[in-house]
Amino acid sequence: MKKSAGIAVVIVIASTLFVNAQEKNFGVIGGLNLANIRGDRTESINNSWRLAYQFGVFSNFSLSDKIALEPRVLFSSKGFNDEMDLGAFDNHSRIPVKYANRDSYLSVPVLLKYKLMNNLSLDLGPEIAFLLYSKNVITKVDVEGFHAKGDVLHERSGDFFVDYGAMAGVTFYFTTKAFVQLNYFHGLSNLRREITIIESTENNSVLQLSLGYLIF
């Protein structure tokens, strides 16, 4: 049911983008994500910011001279970096292991844009995202042979786990077709809500730097 609802939302947004594209307001966008998590769980792990990416398409509806609505459909990589100690079996020493939590989402933000100046807008709106896959990947091990770099520790995928939150930022327009945008996604969905053994909270936090171009 959850997966069907998620697919339906994406189809509706994608159809809206396509229809609006016929009105010559269709573009592409992509850039960098600086992702991390907030919440109770961060008190027990050594999480840090992870550099990732996002890309997709957007459309723009002018509601007035100063206000516009901009829905997007994005492939967005989030997650965080972490470091933990693993015990060696031979001498019980601790082995520092660094790994990255890589979460890939199909994200659908809808931004309300208010034009502060001709080339600058303030952006605010909701985002809903559907998890495509998630995995933890080892990025560095300080002891040779205990784990190979790149070993996958754990993976879950295919359930369209829903994340949601609010996005805010600013957009600077180089021309009428090209722009750069800086925004922040504040996740409100508890990413650990389906884990019933230990009660804790974990929310996405993502800084995004994007370049966009209006194709037609």
Residue 1's pLDDT is 46
Alpha-helix runs per DSSP H in 138-191: none
Bridge partners, residue 70, by sequence = 111
Residue 31's pLDDT is 98
| Distance (Å, whole) CA 203 – CA 206 | 10
We report the CATH number of the domain holding residue 8 as 2.40.160.20
> What pTM was computed for the model?
0.81
Domain residue limits at 163: 2-214
Neighbours of 8 (CB within 10 A): 10
| Distance (Å, whole) CA 133 – CA 175 | 37
| Distance (Å, whole) CA 59 – CA 84 | 43
Return phi, psi of residue 70, to 5°. -130, 95
Query: In the Cβ-directed half-sphere of 16, how many Cα atoms lie within 13 Å?
Result: 17
Residue 89's pLDDT is 46
Residue 143's pLDDT is 61
Instruction: Provide the token pair at 63.
Output: 């509601």
Average pLDDT for runs of 10 along the chain of length 216: 53 55 75 94 86 95 88 94 67 70 92 94 95 82 58 55 94 94 95 69 95 92
DSSP state of 48: B
| Distance (Å, whole) CA 75 – CA 139 | 23
Instruction: Provide the token pair at 28.
Output: 């592409």
Residue 21's pLDDT is 43
Number of domains forming the structure of the chain: 1
Residue 213's pLDDT is 96
